[in-house]
Structure 1
Amino acid sequence: MGIEKEKIIRAAFRTIKGVGSQHLRQLIAHFGSAVKAWEAPQSSYLQVANQEKWIREILKVRKDIEPREIGTALSQQGIMLITPDESNYPHLLLELAGAPPLLYYRGHLRGDAEVLAFVGSRQATTYGKSAARVLARDAAAKGIVIASGLARGIDTAAHQGALDSQGTTWAFLGCGLDRIYPLENQRLAEDILEKGALISEFTPGTPPNALHFPARNRLISGCSYGVVVVEAAERSGALITVDFALEQGREVFAVPGPIFSPVSRGPHHLIRQGAKIVERIEDICNELPAWSKYATQISFNKELLPKETVHPAELDHLSILQRLSDVPLHIDQIAIHSTLPVSILSLALLELQLGGKVTQLPGQHYVLAREC
């Protein structure tokens, strides 16, 4: 009961205007616990932060707050609380000097999880989304938890990639857990909850706010062994996350992109600064000693090739399949590297789609089909 009361009191403090995680840590450090702080007389607060505005707000509204009602409301919303003292608190976050004294979550958390973060542009290209999805899928298939921010673009692709392999993914929100932002990811959030978790440092009712996202990004990098940047502008939230990662001693990885794409500039800048280039998940595992057990190279293409290639049409199919991968190729790019006439190439691509070997993406781009 003690830990549950402590968590609810911490949640009660967080409902008070102006009281953030840093202030809550300050109270716990001064009084020994949130419970003791809540029960302390007004005179005891004179020694805390020299009566700053947030202290005055606590003394003003504390008497009107019923912590039990807050606990009941959280329970009704399926929102759970976790503190650094509990075993399922993400263990790498404990290394941070400013580890959140309280996290809100829905779903399932494992304190010992091995986590890899994915960040990138909301205006991601088809190439970027495909790269993020494939890398996240392959990492999750090894048992690695994928962390990201539920935003459009690269975040969404990374979460989806983890789900493709029935893996686990954590989504960190820059708002309260009673709100999903963006709203279009409501279904994705529900799918994440089956095995993973939605996590926030912000009390329910907190709207999405640009000022919240750096704090959210700090947790994404902080809970992870490494951060993978797929696509990003030279000045972007993704690169802010990289700054946090470097401060926290995390590895930084970057996926190279087309040289003409503005969202390739961020990863290419990081590569010039020494970030590790990533083409496949093993590139990451080979750089992390703790993940050497995952570093076995795996080839996916052979299993997708026809077993018999005696028929001319099958030779055409094989020629195409050898050129395709998880990276989308436009039909013109395929034609450049193929000896097939365009009419035969188009027919062969259609036959491969019908046979479940190839997937067509918007704009006449093609990738190898994958079985989840």
Structure 2
Amino acid sequence: MSERLARRLGTLDATTIGLGSMLGAGVFVAFAPAAAAAGSGLLVALVIAAFVAYCNASSSARLAAAYPESGGTYVYGRERLGPWWGFTAGWGFVTGKTASCAAMALTFGAYVAPGYEKPVAVAAVLALAAVNYRGITRTAALTRILLAVVLAVLVTVVVIGIPRATWQPITWDGTGILQAAGLLFFAFAGYARIATLGEEVRDPQRTIPRAILAALAIAVAVYLVVGVTTLGVLGASQLAQSSAPLAQITPLARIGAVAGSLGALLALIAGVGRTAMAMARNRDLPPFLSAVHPRFSVPHKAEVTMAVFVCGLILAFDVRGAIGFSSFGVLVYYAITNASAFTMKRSCAPVAGLAGCVALVAFLPLSSVLIGLAVFAVGWATRAITR
């Protein structure tokens, strides 16, 4: 068994990391593809995505309190449903969140250096991987600073935007709304980072559930206010075509996008590395990824490896393609979360969460679904051969 990680995070730190993940690139970029799918119905889509996220968060909180280890649903699926289910969840998280990292980095590049997004994004990934390498307390401290900048900028966007907003009737294209909800779910999935850090949280049975639900509640409120403002100022058609919609309300949004995408990317790299470490401990990924740095107490080999893969995705995809693929992998992950929680307590929330995940997957863009299925097939085949 590999060396264990150190418990250094309290409730505030865990909540900050989760909230920093949710108020990252999502709030600055996810409204555009959602508007392209649903028009002004994106507000309905946002409520649907938030409801599914709440059900998933409830299941995650219950499971994380029972299994306070690194790895999140990879661990829960193994314990409650069996090794193959755990592997599927872990593979979905690692691949989906690696795509999320690419989306965050590309958003950073689009706001900082339009036309040079990809090299700037690669540089950001390498720099933040170096921060994570130095230890989880440094990750939490930098996330607090970046989150404060993001919240200040979003308040400014709303204050400037609300007087200019004109309200449009909501369109009710059911297919478009469900597709938009699947894409917007990408923005709410940051609370998983809290569960994946379960081995590094103090008093995890109490801290993790509180941090997950607090981070999600704050994020939903912020997304609703910003979504209403952005749609009211730009309108659905202009919003759908924009690569930096909040910057069209105020140039200060570029500062918030930079801070938000960096904060989310920082937390994502930490979460993916720890899930990869948990999978490597059980030889579902190469065992060398389970190594823990003797001084900094981080899964350093897993984090470096994930950073390399993220750089490859940045060079291969654009931000919208990365969001679609990320949503597929993460929705599969949370479907298994809800199924695992149902085996502990047969309540309505896991059933609703599972049904919501399945429905949102079904309405994602076909290209995202096909790429996601191919990636899962590679993972399953590799595990079958190596085991």
Q: TM-score, normalised by structure 1?
A: 0.24
Q: Which has the larger radius of gyration?
A: 1
Higher helix share: 2
Higher strand share: 1
Q: TM-score, normalised by structure 2?
A: 0.23
